[in-house]
Structure 1
Amino acid sequence: MRYAQGGGLTDAERTMRERLRLQAVERFESGQKNAEVAAALRISVRSVERWRRACREGGEAGVLSKGSPGRPRLNEVQVARLERELERGPLAHGWTDQRWTLARIKTLIGRLFHVSYTVEGTWRLLKRHGWSWQQPTRRAI
């Protein structure tokens, strides 16, 4: 399924879609054909074929929602630990100077929590938790 603005399903839409798949599984078990299931649930035959294959390969669990496709997020305990580690400074984590960059913080998150963020995602995480972008001013020699 393609989405016009690059978006996906909301949690409510995902739940509704999952209910449809579970209804389709009940109909598969009662012996209905793909076209009958598609007509009854008002969905495409192609989707029914995909769901039947997933049901055949993984049972009812094969058609359940996999959840949001978004990036894994750090929980509050992990964010608190990240903030403590950031306060320790880059030197404590093996960098040669005292500047935190988004790339370094991204690397630190990967090392500490085994979670991959993009540089932009790292910035959004920090901004969401009250961190701001700062650049030190250079002193004239």
Structure 2
Amino acid sequence: MINDLDDRTMAKPAPAGVLLYFSATDLKKRGWTERLVHLFLSQPDRTEPNPHVKTGHPRRLYLSSRVIAIENTAEEFAEQRNRSLAYSARLKQQAGEKRVALEQLVRGIALPPMALPFEEVVRQAKAKQMEDVFLRASRFSGLRSMFSLIALNRWSGN
């Protein structure tokens, strides 16, 4: 399964004396999961501040030589990776089945027809909103002014 990865994602060993690192994102592109990282790499070889968010978690970096060695030599890695891929496939399938069931349920719900035309519902909602605004304003002033009642009646069309 490891050999099925695109050649562009497979890095070559670094030249002598040069340390190259893979970030957690790079590992995911290579087919690693959080579980595989925890099982085979555990602690990162280096961390650095998050380049995108100052307060974010630091970037975890893993030596490329270590990653490549595990990918190429660890038979258990291949087994665990295949298990992770199979598990992910099952989860995606189950999510798709749940989505189809939910869509069927929603399609089966019959909504009653609207008793009022849409424009009338909007007009009444706006009138109610304005009434609430005027009532709140009158609580603060302690009075309900004649002006606010006249304006409310004109605006709501009564």
Fold shared by both chains (TM-score > 0.5): no
Looking at secondary structure, tell me which structure has more strand per residue.
2
Task: With a CA cutoff of 8 Å and minimum separation of 6, indicate the structure with the bigger relative contact order.
Answer: 2
When normalised by structure 1's length, the TM-score is 0.23
